[in-house]
Amino acid sequence: MTRQKKELIKKLYEIEAFIEADSQLGCGFAPADFYRPLEQEAWELQEQLARLSHYPNAIAMMMDCRGAEMEEIPFK
């Protein structure tokens, strides 16, 4: 994994951790759209990570199931 990818992932984790901590400490009473700028920044970082990982966009990267463990369907 390249250094640039690692830095993008680190920034994404920091944004997600801040939003989660702020939500927990504030008991979920943030004003409407308070986290929108952070969520927009996180989405742009996801798009950059997808391009570096040779995906057309972030949605394609998130929906890729290669390397994921698939569970058997309990019914047929």
3-class SS string, the chain? CCHHHHHHHHHHHHHHHHHHHHHHHCCCCCCCCCCHHHHHHHHHHHHHHHHHCCCCCHHHHHHCCCCCCCCCCCCC
Confidence of residue 28 (pLDDT cuts 50, 70, 90): confident
- pLDDT tens per residue, range 30-58: 888 899 999 999 999 999 999 999 999 99
| Average model confidence (pLDDT) across the chain | 90
Select the more confidently predicted residue: 25 or 14: 14
Could you tell me the pTM of the whole model? Answer: 0.80
* Type of residue at 41: E
Average pLDDT over every residue of 14-38: 89
The pLDDT of residue 76 = 64
